[in-house]
A and B are shown apart, each in its own frame.
Chain A
Amino acid sequence: MFPWNLLLAAVERGVMSGVEQLLLFFPLVLISSLVYGVTRHERWPVIFREAARMAVWFGFFTGCMFIVVFVLSQFN
């Protein structure tokens, strides 16, 4: 529940105005992981599996970075 509470608190306090811009992150992750998979493998089932794995990894990594930067920004 912690990440959702943090997100809701942030939206209520207005510190995340423009939060809709985060949606721009999704096409970037989807296309990056698909192209990475395409250039790494030749068979389509393997490509899609690699793309899904990379999308989860990108999402996790950037999500962690977002949380760290967001928490740090609260101390300014």
Chain B
Amino acid sequence: MPTVDEQSDELNDDSGIDLDLKNPYVAALLAWFVPGLGHFYQGRTAKAVTIFVAVTMLFISGYQMGGGKVVYCSFTPEDYRWQFIGQFFLGSVAVPAVVQNRSLRGQEQQGAKANLLLGDFLAPPTSTRELNDWNHDYHSFFQMGTLYTLVAGLLNLFAIYDAYGGPGVWHDPVQRKKRLAAAAEAAAEEVS
């Protein structure tokens, strides 16, 4: 009969789980582009659905709270949008945001009127005044929407790492030792 400590150890133990991470680079890239897509590629469907629903819900809530203005790329001295560093880990929104930023800056250099490639979608503000208007119109929800989208991006960073290298507990030295020992034992049994 297992002791309470052994039962507790068993519950915390992920060492016996055999995972095929397929190509981890492809999985990480897919996970970056769409939350959960890397896990879906690896056949970890339940995890894929959980990550997709959780991260996407958080992101869309934040995006709506800030009137669709809280996700944009801008690194000018007037508007240094450091929050975009976190939002960048959601690739499907980071790519259009970067495209919009390049489109705006390119036109600014040419002295042309801003007529962005994707319209207003994920576009940075064209002036400090416009940014002030956004803050005024959405007041605290602009900050909260920024926080939600930033956290969604950072959570997807965890998901990307999980798709690339397996669950975090695998990297725990004690768990790793157990996992490798179990794999070696299974291989020895197969040979004999």
When A and B form their complex, which 3 residue pairs have the shortest distance between CB atoms, in order from nearest? A39-B162, A40-B168, A39-B158
Minimal beta-carbon separation of B68 from chain A (angstroms) = 18
Consensus secondary structure, chain A interface: helix
11 residue pairs of the A-B complex, CB under 8 angstroms, read A21-B140, A28-B148, A31-B151, A32-B155, A38-B54, A39-B161, A39-B168, A40-B168, A40-B169, A41-B168, A46-B14
Which residue of B17, B140, B144, B162 is within 8 Å of A43 (Cβ)? B17
Size category of the A interface is 20 to 34
Size category of the B interface is 20 to 34
Docked complex: B133-170 residues within 8 A CB-CB of A: 140, 144, 147-148, 151, 155, 158-159, 161-162, 167-169
Determine if A36 is an interface residue (Cβ-Cβ < 8 Å). yes
Which residue of A21, A35, A36 is within 8 Å of B144 (Cβ)? A21
Chain A residues with Cβ below 8 Å from B169 are 40-42
Docked complex: B42-60 residues within 8 A CB-CB of A: 46-47, 50-51, 54-55, 57-58
0 or 1 for each of B16-54: is its CB under 8 Å from A? (1 = yes): 010100000000000000000000000000110011001
A46 with B12: CB separation less than 8 A: yes
Determine if A45 is an interface residue (Cβ-Cβ < 8 Å). yes
